[in-house]
Structure 1
Amino acid sequence: MSKFALVCHPATPDAAVSALGAEVQPDAAGLAVDFHLSGELAALRIPDVATPLPPERLWAHTCFELFVGAVGEAAYREFNFSPNGQWMRFDFADYRARVPSPAGPAPRIAVSADEGGLGLSVLLPAPLLPAGRLCIGLTAVVEHADGSHTYWALRHPVAQPDFHHRDGFALALHAVNP
């Protein structure tokens, strides 16, 4: 598994989160991603199983995200994973040009938490991934108790947080789908 540190966008500094990272492992079953947030969890709003959210707005709360596209293609997918176990998929034909998402298998999600951290593990089945060489954006939105948000990613290519910007898809992997 390869480990990556996510960085907070400089426009939204975060004193409550001491570290946010991800581990990524492609294999024949799909793509496994483990997100790890360390910090003062009491200072954050973290949805729990008893807190269902509108699936199309998981990103408006503490949420781990994965953006996946094929190198050289404009199309990409966005996956949102909430600590309450919910998830959502968005398909795009080009930058923020949303198109209907075809049916597909559900990812497997596991969440763990203790006083110093939050973990979310997901296995995206291979059929949810494009074929060929992948470019991936690992991101997270962290909601604070006061309702403010911070934005974390492998790379922040523009002045304002924008996870859809293709230059933020900073991880290159070979797809598990030939």
Structure 2
Amino acid sequence: MQTHRLKAHPAHPPARVSAIEARVIGFDADWLRVRWRIEDAHSLVVPAFAGRGRADELWRATCFELFLRPVGGEAYVELNLSPSERWAAYEFTGYRDGMSDRPASREPDCTMRQGSSFAIFDAAIPRDVLPALPASANFTAVIEEHGGVVSYWAITHPEAKPDFHDQSCFVAELAPPRRA
């Protein structure tokens, strides 16, 4: 499966984090599994464990996000996944318009592991939270480091400011899982 190298927005550089990669590590009829790998994660601030449950404004701390827009459509889905195990799923009718909670039959499963110089965040997302596929995708991360440094990572960024909702950021593709 394809690995996406995320870039920090130049107006918000990281303190020590040097690279982030995101990739789909599994996809079947029930779950989409995505992994983010953070290099040089020594100063990463990880939100405290809060247990599973929906929560808004997860992007105010270290958070991993996935945006999906069905090919040819204006509507899209935003998924926010926190190392605290809190999550959010929203649907939009258009660019930052018509936001509502996206229903989920089950809660995503999120796990954060830290090594000596890296961290790995894995998320298993219930299939019914995803929009119709194939979809254009944007893999992103908001990274908080010690000292209050916050960086915004995406496959690509619009020039002026970080905006993960910008149509130009939906450059990856997520296809439906292949049937056995």
Structure 2: stretches of 5+ with no match in the other structure = none
Residues 54-92 of structure 1: CA deviation (Å, up to 9, x unaligned): 920110001111111101111111111111221111211
Please tell me whether residue 133 in structure 1 is matched to residue 125 in structure 2.
no
Q: Which residue is equivalent to 2:73?
A: 73
Q: Which residue is equivalent to 1:96?
A: 96
Give aligned-pair identity as a percent: 36
Q: Could you tell me how far apart the structure 1 residues matched to 2:34 and 2:173 are?
A: 14
User: Could you say if the C-alpha distance between residues 54 and 138 of structure 1 is closer, same or farther in structure 2, counting changes exceeding 3 Å?
Assistant: same
Q: Which residue is equivalent to 1:159?
A: 160
Contact 1:129/1:175 (CA < 8 Å) preserved in 2?
no
How does the TM-score come out when normalised to structure 1?
A: 0.88
SS in 1 for 2:136: strand
SS in 1 for 2:165: coil
Contact 1:129/1:177 (CA < 8 Å) preserved in 2?
no
Q: Which residue is equivalent to 1:22?
A: 22
1:101, distance to aligned residue in structure 2 (A) = 2.5
Residues 5-25 of structure 1: CA deviation (Å, up to 9, x unaligned): 111111112241021111214
User: Could you say if the C-alpha distance between residues 75 and 34 of structure 1 is closer, same or farther in structure 2, counting changes exceeding 3 Å?
Assistant: same
User: Could you say if the C-alpha distance between residues 108 and 100 of structure 1 is closer, same or farther in structure 2, counting changes exceeding 3 Å?
Assistant: closer
Give the alignment's Cα RMSD to 1 decimal.
2.4
SS in 2 for 1:6: strand
Aligned residues: 177
Q: Which residue is equivalent to 1:45?
A: 45
User: Could you say if the C-alpha distance between residues 70 and 152 of structure 1 is closer, same or farther in structure 2, counting changes exceeding 3 Å?
Assistant: same
| Structure 1 runs (4+) greater than 4 angstroms displaced | 50-54
Which residue identity is paired with 2:69?
A: G
Q: Could you tell me how far apart the structure 2 residues matched to 1:146 and 1:5 are?
A: 25
